[in-house]
Amino acid sequence: MDQIYIPKNRGGFSAGSYVIIKPLDTEENMGKSVEKPYFYNIKKIEPIKLNIINELMKIIKKTAEFENMIITGSFLDKGFDFNDIDIILIGKNDSNIKLIEEKIKEQVGIKPHIIFLDNKTLIKGLSSDPLYQMMLSRYISKKRLIYKIKQKINYKILDLHLLKSKVLIENFDILNGDEKYYLIRNMLAVSLFLENKKINNENLEKEINNIFDIKSEKIKQNLLEKNSFLKDYKKYYNKIFNKIMAGIKDGSEQK
């Protein structure tokens, strides 16, 4: 049986008084209900990561008020191979972002990458930018995201995103496996967006396997065979590039 010792000199209590022992600093005892985060496309997450997320949300809540807090990115991947954590804050004022970053780094020991958005910018991004859709294809948040999105294709935005993935062709030998994996996914996210397909991890992994006949783990381990891979990669890159150029030439913004 656990033993709990209370001081002999306890003002207000005589010997034999009945007392209730309970934690002092829990939210429940402070008259606050514990908010459970919302999980989207997350089947399982390590308990220690969930504890970190709860701690992050507490720090943010104590520092400033936001309409929503969203945890996304590679932190949600299986395992503990991460150096930072991606946080999206939805609200009207971003004046406390630097203070929040400092507090998280100091109290949790993880470098946060914070993106601040208002609702209007978020909706616009989800409707016209594949990277927004990829970023929010899975997340853990304070509240559920409910938005009605009508896709609009802005070919100039897609051209800028695709250009990032050209780096893989030009710098294949100096990029590591994780960098190559990111650039491949970036290109395929643009492709899925053009085809009006859902951008999520499952579809991106299928595309990688279908187009390059390779598993993601092999890419991350930097085990690609340079010549055969780049031949397929250039072919697919040019296919997407030509489609985007045709859209820009038409001067169209698909509705």
Q: How far apart are alpha carbons 42 and 20 in whole angstroms?
A: 39
User: pLDDT tens for residues 187-242?
Assistant: 999 999 999 999 988 999 999 999 999 999 999 999 999 999 999 999 999 999 99
Q: First CA to last CA across the chain, in angstroms?
A: 69
User: pLDDT tens for residues 118-151?
Assistant: 999 999 999 999 999 999 999 999 999 888 888 8
Fold that domain 38-141 belongs to in CATH = Beta Polymerase; domain 2 (3.30.460)
Closest CA to 145 of 37, 34, 33, 35: 37
| Residue 186, SS3 per DSSP | helix
The pLDDT assigned to 1 comes to 47
Mean pLDDT computed over 2-13: 55
The pLDDT assigned to 176 comes to 94
Q: 181-184: which pairs have CB atoms within 8 A and are 24 or more residues apart?
A: 181/216, 181/219, 181/220, 184/208, 184/212, 184/219, 184/233
User: pLDDT tens for residues 12-67?
Assistant: 556 666 555 655 454 444 444 457 899 999 988 999 899 999 999 999 999 999 99
Q: Token pair of 148, please?
A: 């009605």
Residue 59 near residue 103 (C-beta atoms within 8 A): yes
What does pTM read for this prediction? 0.76
Residue 66 near residue 51 (C-beta atoms within 8 A): no
Sign of CA dihedral 88, 92, 95, 100: negative
